[in-house]
């Protein structure tokens, strides 16, 4: 799917309603699980509160705050009209004109906006209707450009992981290792890197790094999630500082087998629940059924934003049907009582015959000589 095809699909959904326009809204605070309808409509990742107005003719106007960021917006979105503003609602008022209180407006992303901005928009016009589905339904499939950016983000993630293997040593703090990983990712072209990284002899979960000094025999678990030009990719990995015990190797192989079952189940027409169930079945067959449900595990993967996060979680309650060009994580990250928490996962894009990993190397238990 091209960006132009997606925009045409969104416009078609708009014209099928009685709405005069759709306003996509975002507060500029980006997070891995927070969708951004402005990015869906424009490809622009904002620094501050931002809005994009799509009218029935298909024209898009981007209201950018702060106003000095308009030049960057124009470079990224050459086919979009740019409206610089230092106050988002004032900028919207100017773009919508004197009829703002009399036109029917659909709003996408309104529920995630700060109350003050949402309240001011409601005061500006009472004729606001939910329109998240208009924007996000056509964005379930990634565009060719987004998939290319996801592949580059994956390349950066794998190079960052190799850098982590090269430098991690006993005596180094978790914070030092995580900071070095983030810096290295940015040196490779990442805009940022959402990192969860912790270490210990028996991890209960993966968590943000802290000042603990790593020790020989620790297991390091990490989620490495760089963003590249507004698109995320993620890899989940497990490393041992020293030689891995046979038990740990055997249990990690089990988790890898669970992931492989998830990839095998991820085909067009299957649901996210099917993919989750296939991964659970591998672990349940080995007696770990108790640990395949809350409070031990909630999901086996998730969509990858920052724009749309569809198809959502790889979870038993997600009935979203898989389609080609959907992008999501398959990660059977699992707590096992014998070994602690183990991380294993790859970014996957759905092709006509099934899911393909974007990584060059599949997750395997790594050892660092100490």
Is the pLDDT at 102 greater than 90? The verdict is no
Is the pLDDT at 5 greater than 90? The verdict is yes
Q: Which of 139, 167, 188 is the last residue of a domain?
A: 139
Give the long-range contacts of residues 312-317, CB within 8 A, separation 24 or more.
312/272, 313/272, 314/262, 314/272, 314/275, 314/276, 314/279, 315/272, 315/273, 315/276, 316/273, 316/276, 316/277, 316/280, 317/273
Please tell me whether the peptide bond between 349 and the residue prior to it is cis, using omega within 30 degrees of 0: no
pLDDT digits (tens, 9 = 90+) for 245-271: 999 999 999 999 999 999 999 999 999
pLDDT of 166 reads 98
Q: Please indicate, yes or no, whether residues 309 and 338 belong to a single structural domain of this protein.
A: yes
Q: Structure pTM?
A: 0.94
Q: Please indicate, yes or no, whether residues 101 and 239 belong to a single structural domain of this protein.
A: no
- Under the banding of pLDDT at 50, 70 and 90, the label for residue 279 is very high
Identify the CATH number of the domain in which residue 8 sits.
3.40.350.10
Q: How many domains does the chain have?
A: 2
Q: Please indicate, yes or no, whether residues 158 and 281 belong to a single structural domain of this protein.
A: yes
pLDDT digits (tens, 9 = 90+) for 142-159: 999 999 999 999 999 999
Q: Please indicate, yes or no, whether residues 153 and 132 belong to a single structural domain of this protein.
A: no
Q: Which of 121, 139, 157 is the last residue of a domain?
A: 139
The residues near 349 (Cβ < 8 Å, ≥ 6 apart) are: 142, 147, 150, 325, 326, 327, 355, 356, 358
Q: Please indicate, yes or no, whether residues 128 and 170 belong to a single structural domain of this protein.
A: no
Q: Please indicate, yes or no, whether residues 347 and 209 belong to a single structural domain of this protein.
A: yes
Please tell me whether the peptide bond between 77 and the residue prior to it is cis, using omega within 30 degrees of 0: no
pLDDT of 359 reads 98
pLDDT of 100 reads 83
- Under the banding of pLDDT at 50, 70 and 90, the label for residue 213 is very high
Is the pLDDT at 25 greater than 90? The verdict is yes
What pairs with residue 226 in β-bridges? Answer: 193
pLDDT of 99 reads 80
Q: How far is 142 from 40, CA to CA, in rounded Å? A: 10
Q: Please indicate, yes or no, whether residues 110 and 174 belong to a single structural domain of this protein.
A: no
Identify the CATH number of the domain in which residue 299 sits.
3.90.230.10
CB neighbour burial string for 20-29, b if at least 16 within 10 angstroms, e if fewer: bbbbbbbbbe
Q: Please indicate, yes or no, whether residues 361 and 255 belong to a single structural domain of this protein.
A: yes
pLDDT of 20 reads 94
Mean pLDDT of 35-57: 96
**DSSP H or E segment with residue 148:** helix 144-167
Least confident of 57-71, 89-103, 237-251: 89-103
CA–CA distance from 46 to each of 51, 59, 67, 237, 313 (Å)?
9, 20, 11, 31, 25
Closest residue by Cα to residue 325 from 355, 282, 345, 301 = 355
Mean pLDDT of 54-71: 97
**DSSP H or E segment with residue 327:** strand 327-330
Q: Which of 81, 106, 139 is the last residue of a domain?
A: 139
Is the pLDDT at 98 greater than 90? The verdict is no
Q: How far is 208 from 54, CA to CA, in rounded Å? A: 39
Region of 340 (left: φ > 0; alpha: ψ -120 to 50; beta: rest) is left
Domain that holds residue 200: 144-368
pLDDT of 124 reads 85
Looking at every residue in the chain, the average pLDDT score rounds to: 96
pLDDT of 126 reads 78
Percent of the chain with pLDDT over 90: 94
Is the pLDDT at 125 greater than 90? The verdict is no
């Amino acid at each position: 799917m091209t960006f132009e095809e997606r925009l045409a699909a969104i416009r078609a959904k708009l014209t099928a309603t009685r709405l005069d326009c759709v306003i996509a809204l975002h507060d500029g605070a980006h997070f891995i699980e927070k969708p951004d309808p402005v990015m869906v409509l424009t490809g622009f990742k904002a620094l501050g509160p931002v809005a994009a107005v799509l009218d029935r003719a298909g024209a898009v106007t981007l209201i950018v705050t702060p106003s000095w960021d308009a030049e960057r917006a124009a470079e990224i979105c050459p086919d979009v009209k740019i409206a610089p503003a230092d106050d988002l609602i004032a900028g919207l008022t100017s773009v919508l004109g004197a009829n703002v209180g009399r036109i029917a407006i659909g709003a996408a992303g309104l529920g995630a906006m700060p109350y003050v901005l949402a309240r001011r928009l409601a005061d500006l016009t009472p004729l606001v209707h939910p329109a998240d589905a208009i924007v996000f339904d056509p964005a379930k499939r990634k565009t060719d450009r987004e998939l290319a950016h996801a592949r580059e983000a994956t390349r950066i993630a794998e190079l960052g992981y190799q850098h982590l293997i090269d430098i991690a040593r006993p005596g180094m703090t978790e914070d030092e290792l995580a900071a070095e990983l983030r810096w290295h990712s940015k040196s490779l072209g990442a805009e940022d890197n959402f990192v969860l990284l912790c270490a210990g002899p028996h991890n209960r979960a993966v968590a943000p790094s802290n000042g603990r000094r790593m020790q020989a025999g620790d297991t390091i678990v990490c989620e490495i999630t760089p963003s590249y030009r507004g698109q995320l990719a993620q890899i989940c990995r497990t490393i041992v500082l020293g030689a891995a015990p046979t038990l740990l190797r055997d249990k990690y192989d089990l988790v890898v087998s669970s992931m492989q079952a998830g990839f095998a189940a991820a085909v067009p027409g299957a649901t996210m629940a099917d993919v989750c169930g296939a991964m659970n079945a591998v672990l349940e067959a080995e007696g770990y059924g108790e640990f395949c449900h809350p409070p031990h595990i909630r999901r086996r993967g998730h969509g990858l934003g920052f724009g749309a996060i569809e198809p959502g979680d790889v979870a038993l309650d997600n009935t979203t049907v898989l389609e080609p060009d959907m992008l999501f994580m398959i990660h059977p990250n699992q707590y096992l009582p014998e070994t602690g928490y183990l991380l294993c996962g790859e970014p996957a894009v759905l092709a006509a015959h099934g899911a393909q990993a974007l990584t060059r190397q599949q997750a395997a238990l790594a050892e660092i000589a100490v």
